[in-house]
Amino acid sequence: MAHKILVVGSFPTTSITGHQVQTASGYDEAIEFLTREDFDYIIIDAVIDTTNGHELLKFIMNNSNTPTMVRHDSHVVTITTPDGGITDWYIPTSLRAFFKFAVFCNHSKENEHDFIRNWIEGEPETHKQRCA
C-alpha cells in the first residue's frame, strides 16, 4: 500500500520507494504543508542548520495524530536560541520526554534506511519503536 509521507530536512527520499513523498526544506514550509494536506507519516530532522524542530513537533502534537519520526545524529546538538544565542540542546531529555508520540532514530546508524522502511510498512505497534 502506498503511503503519503512528508519528509522535512535532509533524509534521502530515494530510499522511500513506492510511496508518495513530499519534501520540505525547513520547519515553516512543513507547517504550511501540514495545514493544507494530510499525511500518513512524517519524518523530520531534529535540527536543520542551527534551528531545532521543537515548534514543528508542537504543531504536529496539537494538530495531528500522524506517526512521526525524528532523525538525529547526536544526542547533543548546538542550536540558535530565540534571542540569537547559541546553546547545547539535549535531544533525549528535551524531546523524548515531551513528545512521547514521536519515534527517535539516530541517523548515523547503518540500519537507518531499513528501520525507516520497516517503520513505514510495518504494523502500527512498530510506530513506537526506537532506532538503536
- How much is the pLDDT for 35? 95
Better-scored residue on pLDDT, 17 or 131 = 17
Q: State the average pLDDT for the chain.
A: 78
Structural domains in the chain? 4-128 (3.40.50.2300)
Express each pLDDT in 94-107 by its tens digit: 666 667 778 777 76
pLDDT higher than threshold 90 for residue 32: yes
Beta bridge partners of 41: 5
Q: Express as a percent the part of the chain with pLDDT over 70.
A: 71
Residue 88: partners with Cβ closer than 8 Å, 6 or more residues away: 76, 77, 78, 79
The closest of 130, 73, 76, 125 to 104, measured between CA atoms, is 130
